[in-house]
Amino acid sequence: MTAVLSRMNDMTDTNDVTAYVNELGRRAATAARSLASASTERKNTALTAAAQALRDNCGRLLEANAKDVDSVKAAGKPAAFIDRLILDEERVGAIADALDKIAELPDPVGRVLHTTERPNGLTIERVATPLGVIGMIYESRPNVGADAGALCLKSGNAVILRGGSESLNSTRVIVECLAKGLEAADLPLDCIQMIDTTDRDAVQALLTCADYVDLVIPRGGKGLVSLVRDQARVPTLLHLDGNCHTYVHAAADLTKAAAIIKNAKLRRTGICGATESLVVDRKVAKDFLPMAMDALGDCEVRGEAEAREIDSRIKPATDEDFYTEYLDTILSVKLVDGPDEAIPFVSEHSSAHTDAIVTEDAQVAERFLNEIDSAVVMHNASTQFSDGGEFGMGAEIGIATGKMHARGPVGLEQLTSFKYRVRGNGQTRP
C-alpha cells in the first residue's frame, strides 16, 4: 500500500508539492490507459473485494475516524460539520454496500450510444468512453472518497483523491481498502490514489495539472468551489452549494407537507440536499405554519414580520437568510401569493441544486417542474432524495449544478465521454 500512500506531510516547498502531484498525475494517466480496456468482470471484482475490505477493516476505519472527529471537535467545528465527518458501523456498512451496488450496475464503458448508416456505406457509431484521469477535491465527508473511487473505477477512470485535512486519517484507511480491491482484480494500484498531505498548495497543483488530469470535480463549501472555478486550468464539473427550497402551495395536503418539510430539513442538516428555505402560500399560512413549527421542533425558523405574526416562535430574518445554505438546524420561511410569486422567488434565491413543490394540483406542479431551472425539481417529495443512491446510481460523485456535460447526481454514465468509430469498405472522399 505504500505506493498508494506516499506521505508528504513534511513538505514545505511549493515546488516539491507540485512535483509530487504531477507524479501522481503521471502515474494515474498510465493506469487510466490500462483501466480503460479492463473487463467488466475485473472491475466488479475490484469493487466487491474493496467492499469486503471495508467491512473487514471497519474497526481500523472507526479508530482512524475517531482521531479525525476528536481533532475537529477540538477546533470547535459546528455539529453539522461533525455529522458529515463522523462514521459508525452503520455508515461504514452503507459505504461498503454502495460499492457492491455499483458493481451490480451495467458497465457504462463501450455502450453504443448511436449508430448511423451513411449512403456511402460508412457505419458510424458513437461509443461511450472513459474521461481519463479525474481529480476529486472534497472536504469533510470521508464516504465521498469511497464513492468517487468506486464510480471512477467502474467507469474506467483513474482518480486522484484530495480529501480535506479534517478527514485525512479516515481517507487513508478507505484508500487502503480500495487498493485491496485493485490488487484482487490485478489492476494497477495507481488507478486510485490520494494526495496524502495537508499542504494547501496541493489543491492548486492538482488544478493546474493539465498534462495529466482531464477533469476536476470539487465537492464542498462555496469557498472550495469558488477556488476551483477561479483557478483551475483543467475542465471542472462544479458541485455548488445547496440552497434548496420547498414550496407549499395552497392546494397542498398540509399534513403531507409538514412531514415532507420535517424530513427535508432535519433528516440530515449537513447535506447539500437539505431544504434551507420554506416558501408558503399566504392562503394556507395561518394553518400550515403552526403545523410546520410543531414538526420542526427545535429547528430555528427565521421569517419576515408577516410570518412572525402568525407564529411567535419564528425569529426575524434578514435578506441574507434567503440566500443562505445553513447546513444546520436553521430554516428561513417566505410567504407568497401563489405560484406567480413563488416561482420567481425560488428562481432568484435558489442555488439551482434541488427545489420542490408540495401540492395536489397537478397543473401547478407541472408548471413548477417546468419553470424552475434547477438540476433537480421535485413534486411531493423531500429534497433529501436528491442523491445518486436514491436515483438508482449506486452512489454519486457529486451533484452538478451547471448545465454542461452533466447535471444533477453524477454517476457512472456522467463520468464517460464518447468517441466515434467509423467502419468502411474502401471508401474515399470525392
Are β-strands 215-219 and 300-303 bridged in parallel, bridged antiparallel, or unpaired? unpaired
Residues 203 and 274 in one domain: no
Residues 186 and 333 in one domain: no
Coil, helix or strand for 421?
A: strand
Residue 97 CB contacts under 8 Å (≥ 6 apart), including other chains: 51
Residues 43 and 165 in one domain: yes
Residue 43 CB contacts under 8 Å (≥ 6 apart), including other chains: 35, 103, 107, 153, 154, 156, 185, 187
Q: Of 224 and 391, which is predicted with more confidence?
A: 391
Residues 254 and 189 in one domain: no
| 6 found inside a domain | no
Residue 5: band (very low, low, confident or very high) from pLDDT cuts 50, 70, 90: very low
| 404 found inside a domain | no
Q: What are 49-69's pLDDT values in tens digits?
A: 999 999 999 999 999 999 999
Residues 181 and 34 in one domain: yes
| 430 found inside a domain | no
Strand ranges for 142-292 from DSSP E: 158-162, 192-194, 215-219, 244-248, 275-281
Residue 172: band (very low, low, confident or very high) from pLDDT cuts 50, 70, 90: very high
Q: What is the pLDDT of residue 243?
A: 93
DSSP state of 218: E
- For the domain that residue 213 is a member of, what is the CATH number? 3.40.605.10
Residues 212 and 252 in one domain: no
Does residue 6 register a pLDDT over 50? no
Does residue 9 register a pLDDT over 60? no
| Longest Cα–Cα distance in the chain | 81
Does residue 2 register a pLDDT over 60? no
Residues 215 and 304 in one domain: no
| 218 found inside a domain | yes
**What is the residue-wise DSSP string for 48-115?**
HHHHHHHHHTHHHHHHHHHHHHHHHHHTT--HHHHHHH---HHHHHHHHHHHHHHHHSPP-TT-EEEE
Q: What is the 3-state secondary structure (H, E, C) of 335-353?
A: EECCHHHHHHHHHHHCCCC
Owner of C-alpha cell 403552526:
290
Does residue 405 register a pLDDT over 80? no
Q: What is the pLDDT of residue 299?
A: 97
Q: In whole angstroms, what is the distance from residue 36 CA to residue 57 CA? A: 29
User: How many other CB atoms are found less than 10 A from the CB of residue 388?
Assistant: 23
Q: How far apart are the first and last CA of the chain?
A: 57
Q: How many domains does the chain contain in total?
A: 2
Q: In whole angstroms, what is the distance from residue 186 CA to residue 207 CA? A: 30
Half-sphere exposure at residue 109, Cβ-oriented, CA atoms within 13 angstroms: 20
Q: What are 180-206's pLDDT values in tens digits?
A: 999 999 999 999 999 999 898 999 999
Q: What is the dihedral of CA 320, 322, 327, 331, to 10 degrees?
A: 120
Half-sphere exposure at residue 316, Cβ-oriented, CA atoms within 13 angstroms: 1
The amino acid sitting at 10 is D
- For the domain that residue 305 is a member of, what is the CATH number? 3.40.309.10
Q: What is the dihedral of CA 333, 337, 338, 341, to 10 degrees?
A: -80
Residues 197 and 313 in one domain: no
User: Helix axis angle, 58-74 relative to 168-184, nearest 10°?
Assistant: 160
User: Which domain, by its residues, includes 187?
Assistant: 14-237+410-422
* Contact criterion met (CB below 8 Å) for 240 and 353: yes
Coil, helix or strand for 64?
A: helix
pTM for the structure as a whole = 0.85
Q: What are 334-346's pLDDT values in tens digits?
A: 999 999 999 999 9
Residues 24 and 106 in one domain: yes
Q: In whole angstroms, what is the distance from residue 250 CA to residue 338 CA? A: 7
Q: In whole angstroms, what is the distance from residue 45 CA to residue 169 CA? A: 26
Residues 137 and 230 in one domain: yes
| 359 found inside a domain | yes
| 391 found inside a domain | no
Q: What are 109-153's pLDDT values in tens digits?
A: 999 999 999 999 999 999 999 999 999 999 888 999 999 999 999
Show the cell assigned to 119.
449512403
Percent of all residues in the chain with a pLDDT value above 70, rounded to a whole number: 97
Residue 404 CB contacts under 8 Å (≥ 6 apart), including other chains: none
- 358: β partners: 248
* Contact criterion met (CB below 8 Å) for 294 and 350: no
Q: Which of 429, 430, 427 is nearest to 123 (CA)?
A: 427
Q: In whole angstroms, what is the distance from residue 186 CA to residue 180 CA? A: 10
Residues 172 and 80 in one domain: yes
Q: In whole angstroms, what is the distance from residue 359 CA to residue 245 CA? A: 14
| 358 found inside a domain | yes
Residues 364 and 417 in one domain: no
